[in-house]
Amino acid sequence: MSPNMSLFSVNAILILSSDDSSRILAKYYSPPHPPTNQGNNYPGANPYPHLKDQKAFEKGLLEKTAKQTSDVILYDNRVVLFKMESDVMLYVVAGAEENEILLYSVILALRDSLNILLKNSVDKRTIIENYDLVSLAIDEIIDDGIILETDPVIVASRVSRPPVQDINSVKGIDLSEEGLLKAWEFGKMKLGERLRQGL
Query: Does the structure show a pLDDT above 50 at 1?
Result: no
Q: Which of 39-48, 148-157, 159-168, 182-191 has the highest mean predicted lDDT (pLDDT)?
A: 148-157
* pLDDT class of 34 with cuts at 50, 70, 90: low
User: Could you tell me which residue, 148 or 163, shows the higher pLDDT?
Assistant: 148
What lies within 8 Å, CB to CB, of 112 at 6+ separation is 152
H helix or E strand, kind and range, residue 5 = none
What average pLDDT score do residues 25-39 get? 72
Please tell me the predicted confidence (pLDDT) of residue 140. Answer: 93
Long-range contacts of 17-20 (CB under 8 A, 24+ apart): 17/87, 17/88, 17/89, 17/124, 18/62, 18/66, 18/84, 18/87, 18/88, 18/89, 19/87, 19/124
Q: Helices 100-117 and 131-141, interaxial angle, to 10°?
A: 150
Please tell me the predicted confidence (pLDDT) of residue 9. Answer: 85
Torsion of CA 129, 132, 134, 140, to 10 degrees: -170
Query: Does the structure show a pLDDT above 60 at 41?
Result: no
* pLDDT class of 197 with cuts at 50, 70, 90: confident
Whole-prediction pTM: 0.72
* pLDDT class of 187 with cuts at 50, 70, 90: confident
Angle at CA 46, nearest 5°, toward 42 and 49?
125
Q: Chain-wide mean pLDDT for the chain?
A: 82
Residue type present at position 1 = M
Query: 12: helix, coil or strand?
Result: strand
Please, what is the end-to-end C-alpha distance for the chain in angstroms? 47
d(CA 108, CA 72): 12
